[in-house]
Amino acid sequence: MTLFGKFSSSLTLTAQIILAEKEYKKKLVSIFKKAGIEVDGIVPITLAERNLVLDVNELKENIMILDIGAGNTEIGVFSGSSFIYNNTINLGGDNITSDISYCLNISKEEADKLKRQYGLALKSYIDNDNNISLNTCKDIDIKNKTIKSSELIEIIEARIEEIFSLVNKDIMARGIKPSINNVVLTGEGIVNISKSDMAGKIILNIPVKISTGRLISTVKAMYRTSYALVRYIAARPYADTVSSNIDAKTEKHMIKDILGKIKEFFYS
The predicted pLDDT at position 240 comes to 45
- Residue 187 region, left (φ>0) first, then alpha (ψ -120 to 50), else beta? left
pLDDT tens string 127-161:
889 999 998 888 777 767 899 999 999 999 999 99
Nearest 5 degrees, angle CA 4-CA 254-CA 35? 100
Express as a percent the part of the chain with pLDDT over 70: 85
CATH architecture of the domain 45-214 equals 2-Layer Sandwich (3.30)
**Dihedral sign of CA atoms 109, 114, 120, 123 in order:** negative
pTM: 0.80
Backbone phi, psi, residue 111, to 5°? -60, -40
Phi/psi at 183 (nearest 5 deg)? -125, 135
**Distances from the Cα of 19 to the Cα of 24, 36, 87, 183, 239, angstroms:** 11, 26, 11, 23, 23
156-195 pLDDT, tens digit each: 999 999 999 999 999 999 999 999 999 999 988 887 899 9
Ranges of each domain in the chain: 45-214
Q: Count Cα atoms within 13 angstroms, Cβ side, for 51.
A: 10
> What single letter denotes the amino acid at residue 160?
I
Cβ atoms of residues 86 and 16 within 8 Å: no
Q: What share of the chain in percent tops pLDDT 90?
A: 47
- Bridge partners of 95, per DSSP, are none
Q: What is the CA radius of gyration of the chain?
A: 22
